[in-house]
């Protein structure tokens, strides 16, 4: 362990979302739902009860016509890299949500979760959702559930996993091909789906990775960086008003 509480494994997965490229088409959010067996209900318009891992926010510059502009902001889990703990992992009483120091991924294990929702309160990004109901799919849509991700039960919290099951799959292949685990790259569903290639994903510690390059861009910023949660999701925009909004609350 180094003094900031992280082990030095050489891998830290992170994401960079270019808001200048993002068109708010929602393909990321939909691909995420399909990939991760996210449940839905007939009425999804109560956003406090709706489960969305990749939530796309609507932000505007507050100006009057014709200077008014808006933008979209896709928000996965930030997988906060703050020393020792992410806000959510710090408060979890049962170790259901824990950050893997070897990859930087903040996982959440559903059967372990007791549904206390402390993590939801702690998360400044509203990245976590609670299962208020048992998930139910209309007949015969259960057939399209993916075996790669387990379905959740009523009473537990869930959130974006950076598609860690895809990392596991990529590692399996790497074992078979005899590669180094630190060299393993993978693509989460949202990144893969994005039709304007607005999302980059990879190892932030690898200087040559696109995500590391973008994270250092002049256009880069992070959400609520004043809280020192050290999100591993970076945003890029050429608009100053978006940079300013990033430090207001979502």
Residue 58: beta bridge partners?
72
Region from 80-88, 171-179, 200-208, 242-250 binding another protein, contact rule CB under 8 A = 171-179
Binding to another protein (CB under 8 A) within 109-168 occurs at 109-112, 134-135, 137-154, 161, 164-165, 167-168
Residue from 173, 183, 225, 249 binding another protein (CB under 8 A): 173
Q: Is 216 in the site for another protein (CB under 8 A)?
A: no
Tokens representing 181 are 């685990």
Region from 64-72, 80-88, 121-129, 222-230 binding another protein, contact rule CB under 8 A = 64-72
How buried is 56 (Cβ within 10 angstroms: 0-12 exposed, 13-18 middle, 19+ buried)? middle
Tokens representing 28 are 């990321």
What are the phi and psi torsion angles at 215 (to 5°)?
-65, -25
CA pair distance 190, 200, nearest whole angstrom: 10
Strand 106-108 relative to strand 220-221: parallel, antiparallel, unpaired? unpaired
Q: Is 206 in the site for another protein (CB under 8 A)?
A: no
Q: Is 193 in the site for another protein (CB under 8 A)?
A: yes
CA pair distance 159, 99, nearest whole angstrom: 13
Instruction: List the beta strands (DSSP E) in 48-113.
Output: 55-60, 70-75, 97-99, 106-108
Residue from 174, 211, 223, 242 binding another protein (CB under 8 A): 174
Closest contact distance (angstroms) between CB of 194 and another protein is: 6
Region from 75-83, 96-104, 202-210, 225-233 binding another protein, contact rule CB under 8 A = 96-104
Closest contact distance (angstroms) between CB of 136 and another protein is: 8
């Amino acid at each position: 362990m180094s003094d900031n509480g992280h082990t030095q494994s050489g891998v830290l997965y992170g994401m960079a979302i270019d808001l200048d490229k993002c068109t708010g088409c929602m393909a990321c959010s939909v691909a995420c739902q399909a990939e991760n067996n996210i449940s839905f209900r007939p009425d999804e318009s109560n956003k406090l009860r709706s489960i969305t891992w990749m939530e796309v926010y609507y932000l505007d510059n507050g100006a009057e016509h014709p200077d008014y502009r808006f933008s979209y902001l896709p928000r996965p889990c930030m997988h906060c890299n703050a020393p020792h703990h992410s806000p959510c992992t710090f408060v979890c009483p049962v170790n259901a949500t824990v950050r893997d120091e070897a990859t930087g991924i903040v996982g959440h294990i559903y059967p372990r979760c007791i549904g206390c929702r402390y993590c939801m309160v702690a998360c400044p990004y509203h990245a976590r959702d609670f299962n208020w109901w048992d998930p139910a799919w209309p007949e015969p849509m259960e057939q399209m559930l993916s075996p790669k991700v387990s379905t959740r039960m009523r009473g537990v919290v869930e959130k974006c996993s950076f598609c860690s099951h895809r990392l596991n799959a990529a590692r399996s292949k790497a074992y078979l091909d005899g590669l180094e685990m630190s060299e393993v790259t993978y693509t989460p569903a949202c990144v893969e789906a994005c039709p304007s290639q607005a999302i980059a994903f990879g190892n932030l510690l690898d200087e040559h990775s696109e995500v590391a390059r973008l994270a250092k861009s002049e256009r880069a910023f992070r959400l609520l960086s004043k809280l020192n949660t050290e999100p591993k999701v970076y945003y890029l925009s050429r608009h100053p008003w978006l940079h300013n909004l990033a430090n207001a609350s979502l």
